[in-house]
Amino acid sequence: MVPDLGVAGDDRAGGVTMLGVRALGPTPPGPSDAPGDPADPRQAERDAWAILAGVDGLGPVGFAALLARFGSGAQVLRVAASPNGIGVLADSPGAGDPEAAPDGRRRRPVSVALATAIAVAADRGDATLERIRGLGLQVVTVDDGAYPGRLGAIDLPPHLLFVLGDIAALQAPHAVAVVGTRRPTERGRAVAARIGAALAAAGAAVVSGLAVGIDGAAHDAALTAGGTTVAVIGGGHAALYPRAHAALADAIVASGGAIVSELAPDAASTKGTFPRRNRVISGLSDATVVVEAPARSGALITASWALEQGRDCYLVPGPIDARESAGCLAFLREFHDGARIVAGIPQLIDDLGLVQRRPEAPLAAATMIGLGSAARQVADGLVGGLVTVDELVAVTQLPVATVLASLTILERQGLAVGVHGRYRVAGTLAAAP
């Protein structure tokens, strides 16, 4: 189920090289624990990698081949800036050398167009670095001590990461990915929030993809529970997608978390960048949990990567006739020797080897401050999965006007969100069991 990311084909297609990063060429000497430190002798190489990362059409395959041929990113840029640089790069045998490919298949050489793009990038290098620093991004390469150990241990680690926020969040003692469909049911959204809150309460960082739906619910719940969360995006930081989660991204950074991408700041997310993003999500995590996923869901790609990377994988089962559960059920059936079910939130925490630091309560006391009896009943109904006014009236036995007034109170306090006549919990209510 792990997608073919084009490792033997066109580098522009988002390929991920099977060339080991340990064979990228000579490593520049010097300390490796302070990315961005001007006094760090590795900084010139780190900057060179950041410049090359923004070259359109230069994916991991060509990047690794150039490093193998010229020994360093800085040398690639020096060659590109020389009088005959384009010709030298275009004549580079490294990208087409079978010895550079463990599978023996020939890689395509650097084209004249790609060599020209590298030369242009070399000429604009200072502006590129200014752009990166102006956005507040830190660059960490696979050779840096700050590079996350979990990600560096997989077969396909990115050569470098652009990080907004605290790099230390990528090295949390425990990290669990929570992913799922962009179109969840209200029950699925609530389950994702409960899982995110429970993981945060157990001291684990919550890793996800910042997408709407399950991803957003997990991120938000982790923040509400006072935990750390890391978002891996499928494009560059300056082209954040989805824009609807810009405020959530800001909150993640403000809380001590991080927004991560292996793509240059202005790179747009495309269909091909998300599978690459998904392998980073699982690679940064000890385990991956899929809450809801239709039959053809990107969340299943993340689950596949987790198994491929030797990480644990858990899936929330659901009704056999529900579209949102079809992918999870099929994955559990196909990979029954590797994937596991989520039998409950406490059971998941136990299976992950984590310790729940504080018991779950029906609702945090702070959440209920200022709410009257009716609003409390409506809040409990929303937490229990009721989504319409009619359902709330039937269960609470409150008049319609009282239910509507209570929903207005909850919305004003950020505890509920109403869309097209259907309501769901938000804020601290989203983390309630």
DSSP string, 345-368: HHHHHHHTT---SS---SS-HHHH
Asked if 218 and 281 sit in the same domain, the reply is: yes
Range in 173-177, 334-338, 365-369, 399-403 the model is least confident about: 365-369
Does residue 1 sit within a domain? no
Query: Which residue bears the tokens 């409390």?
Result: 376
The Cα–Cα gap between 108 and 338 comes to 36
> At which of 84, 113, 133 does a domain end?
133
Pair 312, 400 in one domain: no
Report whether pLDDT(119) > 80.
yes
98 and 53 both lie in a single domain: yes
CB 136 within 8 A of CB 36: no
Contact of 203 with 232, CB cutoff 8 Å: no
Q: Note the pLDDT of residue 370.
A: 63
Give the residue from 115, 133, 151 where a domain finishes.
Answer: 133
Arithmetic mean of pLDDT, 393-410: 91
User: Are residues 335 and 400 both part of a single domain?
Assistant: no
Q: Measure the CA–CA gap between 180 and 315, rounded to whole angstroms.
A: 10
Residue 148 lies in a domain: no
Look over the chain and give the mean of its residue pLDDT values, rounded to a whole number: 84
Among candidate residues 133, 158, 178, the one where a domain is terminated: 133
Domain presence at residue 149: no
Considering the domain boundaries, does residue 263 fall inside one? yes
Of the chain, the percentage scoring pLDDT greater than 70 comes to 82
Q: Are residues 234 and 342 in the same domain?
A: yes
Q: For residue range 351-380, list pLDDT tens digits in order.
A: 999 976 544 444 454 556 567 889 888 988
> Residue 17: which pLDDT band, with cuts at 50, 70 and 90?
very low
Q: Are 284 and 150 in contact (CB under 8 A)?
A: yes
Does residue 329 share a domain with residue 228? yes
> Is residue 291, in this structure, part of any structural domain at all?
yes
Q: How sure is the predictor about 425, in pLDDT bands with cuts at 50, 70 and 90?
A: confident
CB neighbours of 120 closer than 8 A, spacing ≥ 6? none
**What confidence tens digit (pLDDT) does each residue in 120-143 have?**
999 999 999 999 999 999 999 998
Q: State residue 53's pLDDT score.
A: 93
Q: What range does the domain containing 174 cover?
A: 167-351
In this structure, the answer to whether residues 191 and 323 fall within a common structural domain is: yes
86 within domain boundaries: yes
Radius of gyration of the chain (CA): 24
Q: What is the pLDDT of residue 368?
A: 60
Q: Are residues 110 and 208 in the same domain?
A: no
pLDDT at 13 over 70: no
Question: Residue 70: enclosing H or E segment and its boundaries?
Answer: helix 60-70
Same domain, 306 and 401: no
Asked if the bond preceding 242 is cis, omega within 30° of 0, the reply is yes
Q: What is the CATH number of the domain that holds 391?
A: 1.10.10.10
Domain identity same for 347 and 306: yes
Angstrom distance (rounded) from CA 22 to CA 143: 9
DSSP element (H, E) containing 341? strand 340-341
User: What CATH number is attached to the domain comprising 265?
Assistant: 3.40.50.450
**Number of independent structural domains in the chain:** 3
Q: Are residues 94 and 38 in the same domain?
A: yes
In a domain, 142, yes or no: no
Question: In this predicted model, which residue has the larger pLDDT, 156 or 33?
Answer: 156
- Sign for the pseudo-dihedral over CA of 267, 268, 274, 277: positive
C-alpha angle 390/427/346, rounded to 5°?
90
Let me know whether 208 and 299 are in one domain.
Answer: yes
Q: Is residue 120 part of a domain?
A: yes
